[in-house]
Structure 1
């Protein structure tokens, strides 16, 4: 670093403020210095004025504005922000790499923008022997990018700095200060050094402000078992200090805080609360994308709905429901139930697409207040010009959201107000970048808005009452607390791993000692960070995890010399008097009454067999998980298609004799093709031509294999397809539907149920257990047997491209492919009897309200749609505590 005359705060206050400028490395240093100077002035009760304190980036923008009035050095008409700059880099890369040199264009743009800045900031000159293929591509991108800027009359931050440097070097204008004070710069890059030398050449005296902070008098080194243990230890330490002195200022510093936010909040809430009540407030200095905050997420959803419907006149239900469920619109909480009901209806009806007219109709039916607002906002968007600049679209979104009632009638807290301000600022920034985009469509404007919010970090201002700060390395730099715990200090973190820019040749970066280019530079940076952290408090704890997953870790060499101490929380645990605990197992619901109607068919008994509480919640309380949104790739569409296809085949060929005649006469292929086409027209109407053709081809192959199985069975005739049956046991009445019932020559019956999935058939494990599951066929067999039918077999027919088969159980000697051999001591008659007893017992349990939370094994609950009611995680936690 270039040496300049040092001075302290008193020296700074002695300077004439009107001719002194302080430049800080960032906003944090500027705010802290301003606070320190203000306190000194207040203590001395003097009337001294404080000099201008400006972050370096803001000062450069001020100088750039002044150049507007300097002939020959005028800046471009507009300066793009980093967001727009990265998108322009992406456009340049796509234009240069039509053959897809990079798959991740966004990452390539980030690397290119960094390489562009590094090359100018550090004066990296690449020698001819050092050229690489990546560097050659970068040069092409850079040329195309700069050409874009020139054509559009734009500057970015890098070209703006170059323009300012050139103007000051040529003394194109007089500087309005005589003394320049720099603060917070650990090093001066070659370009920054040139800038300071050019300022000195105009007679400006440059100083380096020194704000001395005493080094910590108590430094402890602690090793934790792993990352989780380390965070728990640090949080317990903070709780101990705050309990002893609620006015203490404490900080926990982590190198990779942004990747651990959920863990941090979970640990802090637990450590700083008693019996669920927060005892100490804390602040986590880590920003999330603005798009993830509720108000911004809702605004994005409504803007997307407007853009999609105005352009396409239809949208997927999930797009519309995203806005409806987030609300923050006209109708607010009063119509929240109606908006949710719209979503439920679309899910249950398996809607694939909703037109603008149907959306409007649904709103008028279930959310009339919102419907009126939506009609106006939608008309405004439809009537907007097809192409206009981002400034006009930003104004349009603002007006449309206002018409929609955004942000509703919710009470706004401080974070809500700040989120809305950030959202408004993002719209303003998008509008300011209009020259970079020109006239754009409504959908592209919506995509820009969404991308802008996703790439805009946001964090509400620090809570004033918080005495505990959780920060990253950079946020902690220059701060001062009573005590600090720095965690995560393994040898892989401090010093960090070398990561030179991938687009610039590594030798050229090493030659100029560019950031992240050499181990020596990373070590120097690590020492600077450690120097700052050891001056952030009088007491400093330094810790590292001994492992991360299966990887063993070592402490950073920078903390190896400090004495090891094991932290033990000294806060005494308050003795809780023993109380008598009364347990009440609520496993019995009210009995089913004759007035109750239970929908669900065999699924009711199936759920009772798998878990009685599941059956009670699902069919007595009518609680269930919402179905997923329908998609063309939904396997249910394929299942309906195959079921319908087999139904048509049974109508066309109602018995084995008809099938054999069609085969012998050569008519079978045409019959199979005809029924396949008819089924496709009925069930695959939403499929495109190519996808429909593929499904038909697949179905014909499956059908041909299945027909082969039918030809080798005992002679049969199809006696029923999708037959409806009613079964009643006590107060329970169920409606049943059987896929297929075949009649053999002796009058006996064979039951067939079609399965279009690829899962394993485990009939012995499922049908022979005391509480049988997968009960469709056993249930139908019992019902028909009770009605006087002679059922001799129950078989599952797998209809899948990988395998077509019949698997089932039946009387011995029956010619039916796939019948399972009987275990010792079992027979078909005995099995039917055991099924009848089990089904009657399950039905009786359901009738009297048995709702015990019991399952034979966890696989029984694989497809349970009321898992939160079963509270299985609580049981697992109890088991874990018991084992500990």
Structure 2
């Protein structure tokens, strides 16, 4: 450190966030007093954490930059580039090329569908396609088989739809095994990206325009490989292109921000009027040595190679610090006293005893936190309107089940048609397995066989019917499956066959019945509310009463809620209310698991539960009355929250309901 340190000040802060916020605030005040001053903030570890450091400096220099637009964001110029492949637009371009060359997982395809860097098509249509993709088993997709699996667009003229993107990538996929020179592939890649609307901006700003030009320079670099290389396939070409992109450090030209944030080495040789030198604690400066691991250490010392010894590293750090401080008029040298739970001390290269010392000076705090005490506008509660005539209500019986648990959930899912995104998981998730089991049972009983007929099936006929039923829900998935998924489907069929066999054995042991319907459609209307229902199965019992059945592909659970005295699942009560013109003799759940087939239910005409013929009608009417009350509340627009539920149960809709905020307020 120069001997004359009269213009050097030392500052310490509680943590790094406070230190960098104070740096931005310090620079802001200086520029307001001296608009032409040369000011910079220097961070020793800028290369390791450039995004976080720049964000914290902006917090002090341009409070509220997150919502103030691009110009406010560019007020701080961070002089550190990233690998070209790390820029989102380049990452999407690389993903498209990998899709055509070797395919992508469902997760990556979902990212492409929702990307703003591909064309200007209907964003809502792409989101709907993403929902359909999430309903399919996760697999390795290629453009051609994904194009075949997705429906054609209804409005193909609305910009660049994703099916068009797939068709162009599928055409490139068909040529993936061609052996061409890099220049030919570079030209084809550029043509395809232009056709699919990359990078998705009709009027690019300066940064986007520079990024496009740098990408095309990268394609030119790829073309030059033909002078020393041979012909290559698309996969080889894409691999080489993305390797070059990952090795290329890029930063768009500066827009001339008011404050520069530099690394230590980059600041050497520059002159400043005012300088903020941050993170100067002993753990960061002097910088850690990095000798070559594959070269003998003594040889490195003999040849005077960088970082050959700790003394060499120390002397290098001293020279860097002296040159930086010697080229500035005034300097603020700062460090944080604490990092996580670790106490920090100032760098031993700083002459702490000869400089002016400040503690926690100039930290403006987080801008958003300062707004909490500002005047607020109280917005009165905006209650949901009653259900209107002709309004579409989705969810069927599940909407009333949600109404029982939390009215707000029923409002979101039944009237706003909100739904949770299916997670993209390898193989067949629980929901898909449930759909497969329901499809197999429907196919097995689609001819509505009587109990006598099922008992007369010999082993051959029984096995043929079971095999056909097990394959029926798997066939649509098989045609679009990759080898891994096909193996999983084969295993699922092997699981279904003994399950269906056990189900038929259990059915044959029941008292006499006739299957009256499978997957039966029904409606339940209450005022303007109309629920569309689909009943898994209806049986006509020997006394003429109707048995309502629903399948559950899970382990058995109790039928009744002992506290309420009503079914835990409202679904069957809703079906009973919809079929009130027919005599309902019982409600039944059939649980199908790999271990056993279990029947749960209540009714006066079935040997399940505690009800008997004498009190069954009254009991069923009580349960149906609950359905009427829930329908009435739903029709009135009730949207109350269940304040006693756990946060994990409220989380899917917590962003809409502000559940956590309201719970903390209470």
1:343-362 matches, within 5 Å, as 344-345=128-129, 347-348=131-132, 355=144, 362=152
Paired position in structure 1 for 2:40? 251
- 8 Å CA contact retained: 1:770, 1:838: no
Query: Are positions 1:474 and 2:268 aligned together?
Result: no
**Residues 320 and 777 of structure 1, relative CA distance in 2, 3 Å threshold:** closer
State the alpha-carbon separation in 2 of the partners of residues 771 and 531 from structure 1: 81
2:186 counterpart (391, 394, 403): 394
Question: Greater shift after overlay, 736-745 or 365-374?
Answer: 365-374
Q: What's the CA shift for 1:266?
A: 4.3
| CA deviations over 1:95-128 (Å, ceiling 9, x no partner) | xxxxxxxxxxxxxxxxxxxxxxxxxxxxxxxxxx
Match of 2:245 in 1: 453
Unaligned runs of 5+ residues in structure 1 are 1-211
**Matched residue, 2:112:** 322
Where do 1:614-693 residues align within 5 Å? 614-622=409-417, 633=428, 635-650=430-445, 672-681=466-475, 684-687=478-481, 688=483, 689-693=486-490
Confirm whether residue 271 of structure 1 aligns to residue 65 of structure 2.
no
1:14 equivalent in structure 2? none
Q: Is the 1:493–1:556 contact (alpha carbons within 8 Å) kept by the matching residues of 2? A: no
Residues of 1 paired with 2:543 and 2:304: CA distance? 93
1:846 aligns with 2:630: no
8 Å CA contact 1:479, 1:536 repeated in 2: yes
Once the 2 structures are TM-superposed, how far is the Cα of residue 671 of structure 1 from its aligned partner? 5.3
* CA spacing shift, 1:756–1:362, aligned 2, 3 Å: same
Q: Is the 8 A contact 2:78 2:261 kept in 1?
A: yes
3-state DSSP of counterpart to 1:565: strand
Q: Are residues 387 and 469 of structure 1, via their aligned partners in 2, closer, same or farther at CA, if it must alter by over 3 Å?
A: same
SS at match of 2:352: coil
TM-score by length of 2: 0.76
> Secondary structure of the equivalent of 2:359?
coil
| SS of equivalent to 2:125 | helix
Out of 590, 595, 612, the residue aligned to residue 390 of structure 2 is 595
Question: How do residues 35-54 of structure 1 correspond to structure 2 at under 5 angstroms?
Answer: none
**CA distance in structure 2 between the aligned counterparts of 1:428 and 1:340, rounded to whole angstroms:** 36
Map of 2:221 onto structure 1: 429
- With over 3 angstroms needed to count, the CA separation of the structure-2 counterparts of 1:750 and 1:249, relative to structure 1, is farther
2:534 to 737, 741, 745: 737
1:418 Cα deviation after fit: 1.7
1:543 aligns with 2:335: yes
TM-score (ref. length: structure 1) = 0.59
Tell me, yes or no, if structure 1 residue 367 matches structure 2 residue 161: no
User: Are residues 1:585 and 2:377 paired?
Assistant: no
- Does structure 1 residue 569 correspond to structure 2 residue 362? yes
- Alpha-carbon distance change, 713 to 353 in structure 1, aligned in 2, over 3 angstroms: farther
For the pair 1:410 / 2:207, whether they are aligned, the reply is no
> Displacement, 1:727?
0.5
Over residues 270-299 of structure 1, what are the superposed CA-to-partner deviations in whole Å (9 max), with x where a residue is unaligned?
Answer: 433456544992112232332343553554
Counterpart-to-counterpart distance in 2, 1:420 and 1:272: 30
Q: What is the alpha-carbon root mean square deviation over aligned residues?
A: 5.1
Please give the per-residue CA displacement for 1:768-811, whole angstroms capped at 9, x wherever unaligned. Answer: 67999864344335545x44544544436153x5x556475536
- Larger RCO of the pair (alpha carbons < 8 Å, separation 6+): 2
CA contact (8 A) 1:491 1:553 kept: no
> 1:511 and 1:730, CA in 2 relative to 1: closer, same or farther beyond 3 A?
farther
Q: 2:602 is matched with which residue: 810, 814, 828?
A: 810
Q: Shift of the alpha carbon at 1:736?
A: 0.8
Q: Which residue number corresponds to residue 282 of structure 1? A: 76
Instruction: Sort the Cα spacing of 1:304 and 1:600 in 2 relative to 1 into closer, same or farther, 3 A.
Output: same
| Number of residue pairs the alignment of both structures matches | 638
Separation in structure 1 between the aligned mates of residue 6 and residue 269 of structure 2, nearest angstrom: 14
Higher mean displacement: 693-702 or 578-587? 578-587
Whole-angstrom CA distance in 2 between matches of 1:220 and 1:558: 13
| Structural mapping, 1:175-194, within 5 Å | none
SS at match of 2:272: coil
Q: 1:672 to 1:384 in 2, by over 3 A?
A: closer
Distance 1:501-1:763 versus aligned 2 partners, 3 A rule: farther
Quote the offset at 1:588 in angstroms. Answer: 1.5
For the 8 Å contact 2:94–2:242, the answer to whether it is kept is yes
Q: How far apart in 1 are the matches of 2:554 and 2:301?
A: 59
Partner-residue secondary structure (3-state), 2:441: helix
Aligned mates of 1:377, 1:703 — CA distance in 2: 42
Aligned mate of 2:90, from 292, 296, 310:
296
Q: Once structures 1 and 2 are overlaid, which stretch shifts more, 488-497 or 358-367?
A: 358-367
- d(CA) in 2 for partners of 1:373, 1:655: 51
Of the two, which has the highest radius of gyration?
Answer: 1
Spell out, residue by residue over 1:207-245, the C-alpha distance to the aligned partner (whole angstroms, 9 max, x if none): xxxxx9976732314142x44444444444444444554
Q: What do residues 308-334 of structure 1 show as CA deviations (whole Å, max 9, x unaligned)?
A: 5xx99x9989649827853565xx5xx
Which stretch shows the higher mean deviation, 341-350 or 722-731? 341-350
Cα distance change, pair 301–713 in 1 and its aligned pair in 2 (3 A): same
TM superposition shift of 1:504: 5.0
Whole-Å separation in 2 of the counterparts to 1:453 and 1:271: 34
Against the structure 1 CA distance between its residues 260 and 654, is the aligned structure 2 distance closer, same or farther, given a 3 Å change threshold? farther
- Whether contact under 8 Å (1:778, 1:794) holds in the other structure is no
Quote the Cα distance in structure 1 between the aligned partners of 2:552 and 2:249: 50
SS in structure 2 at match of 1:728: strand
Q: Distance in 1 between matches of 2:294 and 2:616?
A: 74
- Residues of 1 paired with 2:471 and 2:169: CA distance? 44
From the superposition, tell whether residues 720 and 492 of structure 1 become closer, same or farther in structure 2 (CA, over 3 Å): farther
Q: Which residue of 2 aligns with 1:554?
A: 344
Q: Which moved more, 1:241-250 or 1:690-699?
A: 241-250
Structure 2 gap ranges (5+): none
| Distance across 2 between alignment mates of 1:394 and 1:227 | 45
1:860 aligns with 2:649: yes
